[in-house]
Structure 1
Amino acid sequence: MTLDSTASGTFVIAPTPFLPDGGLDLASAARMTEAYLKMGATGLTILGIMGEAPKLDAAESTAFVKAVLTANAGQVPVVVGVSSPGFAAMRALSHEVMAAGAAGVMIAPTPGLKGDDAVIAYFQQASETVGPAPWCLQDFPQANGVAITPKMVARIAADPRLVMLKAEDWPGLDKISAIRALEAAGEMKRLSILGGFSGLFLPEELSRGTDGVMTGYAFPELLVALCKNGPTEEMWDRFEAHLPLIRTDNQPGLGLAVRKYVLMRRGIIAHETARAPAPRLSPPARAEVDHLLARLGRRDPVAVL
């Protein structure tokens, strides 16, 4: 199964489960994969920013990817984040995961790139590094400080292996519209565009022409339903019930701890452990998340724990 520009729906970004001692929890990795598939995920993304990829060594990264691919058994495309400060590590991981059965890879620009030409040259070199893998461009300037304009996306999209854009600029809705306008005018090829931000702007993103979402909000069932039905009034009502928890899940830094705690409470992973250095939920923060879950459960049965 390969990744291409027709990709749509909900690509769930999966966390990396750990045991209490910090070791990989591969049993949870398999259970998590199976749970996401049952929830209707149309794709999975692993070793992204929320996957704590920099905290894994090469052997652990490979072991985790293979555990997910085995549990997935070719049911949906699996995208693997391969971003790295150096191209040697990117090349090695890309070739290994593609040989193991991944559908494609995701690349974010390295921090510190300045100027359009430097950014475009970086992606040209990165594409050569991961070739022949199809790849997704992760546009997340809040994380790496690299701004990519719609016209830059069009230039990068001249690469036939670029098939998907993970759109996480903020504000980013007008940027999505601008990219779709460039496509409609024949100034660039069409890309699959998936939103992010825990689904915080998913209804609006769908209205602007995205093909779905790529994020790890702990209730993917909501994201699946929104992508399937579109931003109808009924779906807006359901979405608004989740907004307080989505907001909490989307916090920079603490969001990973929130997400893993909720996934643990749902029985999707066995432990909420994040590898150090990592934030932990304080008792008051944990109580706040529990309160949000209780309120959500009164409005959406999927959240009854």
Structure 2
Amino acid sequence: MTANPATTDRLATAKGVFTICPTPFAADGALDLASIASLVDFQLEAGVDGLAILGFLGESHKLSQEERGQVIRAFIAQAKGRVPVWVGVRALGIAGAVEQAREAEALGAGAVFVAPLDTTADAVQFDYYRTVAQAVKIPVVIHDFPDSFGTEIGAELVARLGREGGVGMIKMEEPPVGQKISRILELAQGSMKVFGGLGGVYFLEELQRGAVGTMTGFAFPEILVRIYQHHAAGNHAAAAATFDRYCPLIRYEFQPKMGLALRKTTYMRRGVIACDAIRSPGMRMDPITARELEATVQRVGLSLDQRSPFVIA
């Protein structure tokens, strides 16, 4: 399959840190569009290379179709073309995925990252991704997160999508990440770019294996940016030192079921969003967890009370 030239250009320049952004809500559960604006500005101050919205962290499955459009418009309007905004797609079938992808493209998204169909054969999954890629002119990114989606996408299928399906990127979140990244790149023969994820817990190893960056949520994105900058400059020792210094916080924030609450609370404490509300269903923080979070942040030399991004060595 011949790729669209515009898509190829976007694939060629896609690299670095793409923050998976939460969707801010007011205390009553309504969308907080003003906090979307301040969240975008904060991410840009932190030096991120792109924004990713309406993923699992973005509570997209808790939004109405109308709200989904409002969120996309708000992020893209505030980004003002300074960085690309990639939009998550998750549907029960091909028609729904195509509809979501086309809506994102029409509203100005730079790419869509697409969750797999639930438990289907590789042949069906291949046709699904290829069809979505043919339906839009922006890049389609495979969202490979079996712990949340319940569907495994093997390296062989990923590589085939790169070679034959017009899909040239994957957000890869299946441990052990190192082995799968190496296998994908070996089989894809230059047709697939890999972004890491999983909260940044394996960011250093992902880069060392050939990932071009990460797409993940982390409420101190300036840390991930600095790790990437060191690695891209060839200063691998500095990248490792920065990763090692802040790994306790990266690990603590990426807790299954609790990660969203930790991130929203951190963003609220940093003055980035007005409220840490989560729509049901979703786990909330208890007072002990709040104290643990504060202690972990302090232990790595940071503070929850600073709104502007920290200068990271």
Fold shared per TM-score above 0.5? yes
Q: Equivalent residues in 2 for 1:1-305 (5 A)?
A: 3-113=10-120, 115-128=121-134, 130-159=135-164, 161-183=166-188, 188-230=189-231, 232-297=236-301
Q: Among the aligned pairs, what percent are the same residue?
A: 37
Where do 5+ consecutive residues of structure 1 fail to align? none
Write the distance in 1 (CA, Å) between the matches of 2:292 and 2:273: 21
Shift of 1:34: 1.0
Deviations 1:11-63 (A, max 9, x none): 11111000000000000001101110111111110000100000011111111
Q: Which runs of 4+ in 1 moved over 6 A?
A: none
Give the whole-Å Cα distance in 2 for the aligned partners of 1:149 and 1:87: 20
State the one-letter code of the partner of 1:237: A
Amino acid at match of 2:248: P
Q: Figure out how many residues of one structure are paired with residues of the other and give that number.
A: 298
How big is each residue's C-alpha offset from its partner over 1:79-114, in whole Å with a ceiling of 9 and x where there is no partner?
10011113443333322221121111111112222x
Instruction: Please say if residues 101 and 132 of structure 2, whose CA atoms lie closer than 8 Å, have aligned partners that are also in contact.
Output: no
SS at match of 1:70: helix
Could you tell me whether the CA contact under 8 Å between 1:30 and 1:67 is conserved in 2? yes
Q: Is the 8 A contact 1:5 1:191 kept in 2?
A: no
CA distance in structure 2 between the partners assigned to 1:298 and 1:218 by the alignment: 12
Greater Cα offset, 16-25 or 143-152: 143-152
Partner of 1:279: helix, strand, or coil?
Answer: coil
Alpha-carbon deviation of 1:125? 3.6
Shifted more, 102-111 versus 13-22: the winner is 102-111
SS in structure 2 of the partner of residue 51 of structure 1: coil
Structure 2 CA distance for aligned equivalents of residues 105 and 274 of structure 1: 24
Please say if residues 58 and 93 of structure 1, whose CA atoms lie closer than 8 Å, have aligned partners that are also in contact. Answer: no
Q: How far did residue 160 of structure 1 move?
A: 5.7
The CA deviation string for residues 99-134 of structure 1, in whole angstroms up to 9 with x for no partner, is 121111111112222x33233233234434x43332
- Higher alpha-carbon deviation: 244-253 or 201-210: 244-253
In 1, Cα distance between equivalents of 2:219 and 2:258: 14
Cα drift, residue 221 of structure 1? 0.6
Amino acid at match of 1:54: H
Instruction: Return the TM-score normalized by structure 1.
Output: 0.91
Offset of residue 159 of structure 1: 4.6
Cα distance 1:271–1:159, how it changes in 2: closer, same or farther (>3 A)? farther
Structure 2 gaps of 5+ residues are 1-5
- Displacement, 1:303? 6.0
Shift of 1:264: 0.9
What is the TM-score when the length of structure 2 is the normalising length?
0.89
Once the two structures are superposed, residues 131-159 of structure 1 have per-residue CA deviations (whole angstroms, 9 ceiling, x without a partner) of 33321001111122222222111111235
Deviation at 1:268, TM superposition (A): 1.3
Distance 1:135 1:283 in 2: 41
Read off the aligned partner of 2:138 and give its amino acid letter: A
CA RMSD between the two structures: 2.2
